[in-house]
Amino acid sequence: MINIDPYMYKYMYKTIWSAADQEFVGLCEEFPSLSYLDPDRQAAFVGIVALVEFVVKDMQANGEQLPVPIVDRNQQQVHII
């Protein structure tokens, strides 16, 4: 069994309306190539979270490095004074 990286729960998700598709689009900032479309806003949100979970599991199974959540990126920056 693969454990889900805690990063996944820190990722930034959002839903927007797509006039071109006439559906809501679920997006994840850390995975800009992924999207999930659905006529229902909540379903689009749930869909993108599930899609990211699938991709995270696949990346972990293949030993790939996961993107660092945006909320953690500032903490990893080195400040030189």
In tens, the pLDDT along 19-57 reads: 999 999 999 999 999 999 999 999 999 999 999 999 999
Q: Is the dihedral of CA 58, 59, 63, 68 positive or negative?
A: negative
Looking up tokens 């229902």 gives 40
Give the predicted TM-score (pTM) of the model: 0.83
Please state the separation of Cα 75 from the chain's center in Å: 19
Identify whether the C-beta of residue 81 lies closer than 8 Å to the C-beta of residue 29. no
CA contacts within 13 A on the Cβ side of 75: 5
Q: How confident is the model at residue 3 (pLDDT cuts 50, 70, 90)?
A: low
